Structure formats: C-alpha cells, structure tokens
Amino acid sequence: MYKNKRFLAIIPARGGSKGIPNKNIMAICGKPLIAYTIEAGKKSKYIDEIIVSTDSDVIKVIAQQYGAVVPFLRPEELSSDSAKSIDVVIHAIDFYKNNNIAFDYVILLQPTSPLRTFEHLDEAIEKIIESSRTSLVSVCEAEENPILMRNIENDKLKEVISFEGTNLRRQDLPTFYIFNGALYINSTDMLVDEKKFVNEDTIPYVMDKESSVDIDTMLDARLVELLIKESMDV
C-alpha cells in the first residue's frame, strides 16, 4: 500500500510458448525465469498482493514455491496465442471483485523482463500516485531512431517521420522512446472502464536499456544471463 492505495501485481504466464518452449520457467542462471519477477514484486514496499495468472499446473507450483499467489487456473479461452493481456487482467480483477476484495491499482509484470527490480517498481508506484494519473508505462530509449528510417514506395525512399533539419548525425537527433514491456500500472477503474493500458494521459517511467531487456529469443536469454553474472561480480 502507498498513501492508502492498494496494489495488485499480476504476472501473466501461460504454459504454451511458440518461440522458446516453456519460456516462462526456463532456467536463467539456475533459477526459473518467472522467479525473478516474483522476487522483485515481493521486495516492493508497496505491492499488497502478487499473483500469477496461468493455465499450467507446473507454473502454478513453481510460482507458489517462490511466494506468489495462484488463486485460480486461467480458463482455456484466455490461454491461447491470441489471448489479450487486458482480458487476462480483467479476469483477475473480476475474480477478486467476486470475492469482495478491491485494489485501487493493478501492476502488469511480464515475466520476460527479469532485470526489472523492486526499486523500479517502487519508483513507478510513487510516480503514478504523486502525479494523480491513472496510467503509467515503462519505456526505454529506442535503439533505432525513426528519423533515420525509410519506407520504399515505387522504388523510392520515403520518410517515416518528417524531419526539417539538415543534420542527420545520431547525436544531434531528438530522442525517441519505446515501450519496454517491463511494467504497466493502471487504476482498476481505468482498466474496467476503458479496457486498455495506455491512453492519451499515460505517463512514462524511463528505464535504462540494460534493465529493459525482454526475453523473446535464446540470444536474449544469454544476454540476460551475462548481465546477471556481471552484476554478481560487482
């Protein structure tokens, strides 16, 4: 709880994965991937409850071993490749509402962002409450600047974003940011009413690139292992 506001952290972790089999529980430096997100949530000063929304009995057991609550198994219609995160979150909100338990804010934590720390979580929580906003999303600086990108139309290069300057040196271009998938914080009312995580009033929480690594491929996983090992040597 922070300033009388209750926070529910939801970690979505279905059993299936096309890219990397059993990705959510793959071993990263000897520990299941999902464990890093659970542990960060448990260290937060402000998160009141951490749940894992899964359709897998195996993930349920592992999540409970690391201290997360698994109050239900996700229904089949919310466990396919086409299932939307917002529907998974609404399902969890409805579960608690039906049990007469209310939270003011929901934090969506993807298990594929294992380098997001409890410090990130607490800073983001403080920011959204102090701003009196209903939506916050984590971002990091974009690797590629869209000003340097071009479409090809009729065998000619066409700007993606119009730029009036004449100097295209990277260090002179404006900075752009991209969603890194590490965390979303929304008021419960916004999620229920708008059925989305981001609107025109969403505020950013900027993270560094290293903490923003999202595991989508085995190369990403190896990079994360390298970064974790390096942090242990410091």
Residue 161 lies in a domain: no
Task: Determine the Cα–Cα distance for residues 96 and 102; give it in Å rounded to an integer.
Answer: 7
Position 76 scores a pLDDT of 87
Q: Which H or E run includes 194?
A: helix 188-194
Position 202 scores a pLDDT of 97
Plot region of 212 (φ>0 → left; ψ -120 to 50 → alpha; else → beta): alpha
Asked whether the beta carbons of 185 and 124 are under 8 A apart, the reply is yes
Query: Residue 117 belongs to what domain range?
Result: 7-141+178-226
> What is the C-alpha end-to-end distance of the chain, expressed in Å?
32
Q: Where are the alpha helices (DSSP H) in 29-161?
A: 33-43, 57-65, 85-98, 118-131
Q: How many CA atoms lie within 13 A of 17 on its CB side?
A: 21
Q: What is the CATH number of the domain that holds 57?
A: 3.90.550.10
Residue 128 lies in a domain: yes
Position 79 scores a pLDDT of 85
Residue 234 lies in a domain: no
Between strands 105-108 and 177-187, the pairing is antiparallel
103 vs 230 pLDDT, higher one: 103
pLDDT by residue (tens digit) across 114-149? 999 999 999 999 999 999 999 999 999 998 888 888
Position 27 scores a pLDDT of 96
Between strands 135-141 and 203-206, the pairing is parallel
Position 174 scores a pLDDT of 80
Position 166 scores a pLDDT of 66
Total domains present in the chain? 1
20 vs 109 pLDDT, higher one: 109
Does residue 162 surpass a pLDDT of 90?
no
What percentage of the chain carries pLDDT values higher than 70? 96
Residue 79 lies in a domain: yes
Mean predicted lDDT score pLDDT of the chain: 92
Mean per-residue pLDDT for 163-173?
70
Residue 68 lies in a domain: yes
Position 165 scores a pLDDT of 65
Position 28 scores a pLDDT of 96
pLDDT by residue (tens digit) across 31-53? 999 999 999 999 999 999 999 99
176 vs 173 pLDDT, higher one: 176
Task: Determine the Cα–Cα distance for residues 28 and 81; give it in Å rounded to an integer.
Answer: 24
What does R_g of the chain's alpha carbons equal in angstroms? 19
Residue 148 lies in a domain: no
Mean per-residue pLDDT for 9-29?
90
Position 20 scores a pLDDT of 86
User: And the tokens for 110?
Assistant: 């993807």
Residue 11 lies in a domain: yes
Q: How many CA atoms lie within 13 A of 27 on its CB side?
A: 2
Position 48 scores a pLDDT of 97
Residue 173 lies in a domain: no
Task: Determine the Cα–Cα distance for residues 87 and 219; give it in Å rounded to an integer.
Answer: 30
Task: Determine the Cα–Cα distance for residues 9 and 30; give it in Å rounded to an integer.
Answer: 24
Does residue 26 surpass a pLDDT of 70?
yes
